[in-house]
Amino acid sequence: MQHALKALVSACALVVAGHALAQEQVVNLYSARHYNTDEELYTGFTKATGIKVNRVDSDDAGIIARLKAEGAASPADVILMVDAARLYRGEKDGLFQPIHSAALNNAIPANLRSKPEADGGISWFGFSTRARVVVYNKAKVQPADVATYEALSDPKNKGKICIRSGSHPYNLSMFGAVTEHMGEAKAEAWLKGIKDNLARAPKGGDTDQIKAVAAGECDIAVTNSYYLARLMRSANPADVQVTEKVGVVFPNQDSYGTHMNIAGGAVAKHAKHKDNAVKFLEYLASPAAQNYFANGNNEWPTAKGVTVDNPALKAMTQGKPFKSETIPISAVGANMVKVQQMLDRVGFQ
């Protein structure tokens, strides 16, 4: 009798444990956002929903390669990427599934998400933006000399420019946007002009370009805005000294506006927890998460009606709104192949 009672208790415990395991809510995230501060985002989502976030980190290219290799066996539910071109590539490679979410459609402007499918489904949404700005040495360059992206190819700036690899996704997206604005023939001539104006061969990341301008290695550089904001908010006096030597321009304020790249998200094609994945994306469009993008990683939020209270971003824009381009991000992604071909033809590394 005693043995039978113990067996019954053990069986009941197994049933309860199995039921609890079945009830555990999770979402599996593949993320190219390598920002330690994003932990607060994931913690906030779990607190709000009870859904645990399991995260795998890689870069955009690594995530796309992994999704292709895993196929239908992939555990991924949500994909986060930090470049419009790669989001477009993932969509075209069939790695995402379109979703229908009134909350996301209402929050995220149409030009910052994929084109709708025939049934109205959206493959990916942009949740934060970063401006591709020009920084210059205040002792050597006048802001008017770098007021536009077109000025980067002007002969007056010969030998003055530092930039990371032309084939880096951040530059490919900017080049794709400029191509959309000026047309392929003019864009190719523009790219050749930038190459001819380089002070050194492309190398390093965006922070390296800013520091090179401050150190006098070059006079002009291109960077994503959040790299400059990080230096401005740094507790390291050396970083602050760098920012004191450089000025910043948001190009093309008198024409089509400054190029804005995005960080965005999608639901994986073979998501096993699709409902939780959609909830996660909807959370990223919430005011709490959007404010976090602005204050945690110095990005601009994309959701309508969210204001920015980041001192570095305010200082960069002198507290005033700036004009950003409004072309669809999907169009920028569609230009990637032709941009890479142009870079190859003009010999821009």
Binding site annotation covers 226?
yes
Classify the C-alpha dihedral 339-61-212-225 as positive or negative.
positive
Tokens of 259: 């190029």
Strands 124-137 and 260-267: antiparallel
Binding site annotation covers 42?
no
Binding site annotation covers 170?
no
Return the H-helix or E-strand segment holding 261.
strand 260-267
| Terminal alpha carbon distance of the chain | 80
Alpha helices in 76-183 (DSSP H): 84-92, 102-107, 169-182
CA dihedral 173, 175, 179, 180 (to 10 degrees): 30
Question: Tokens 């395991």 correspond to what residue?
Answer: 21
Return the H-helix or E-strand segment holding 47.
helix 39-49
CA–CA separation, 211 vs 208, rounded Å?
Answer: 5
* Phi, psi angle pair for 209, to nearest 5°: -65, -45
Give the other-Cβ count within 10 Å of 168's Cβ: 15
Binding residues for Fe cation: 34, 226-227
Q: Which residues are annotated as a binding site?
A: 34, 226-227
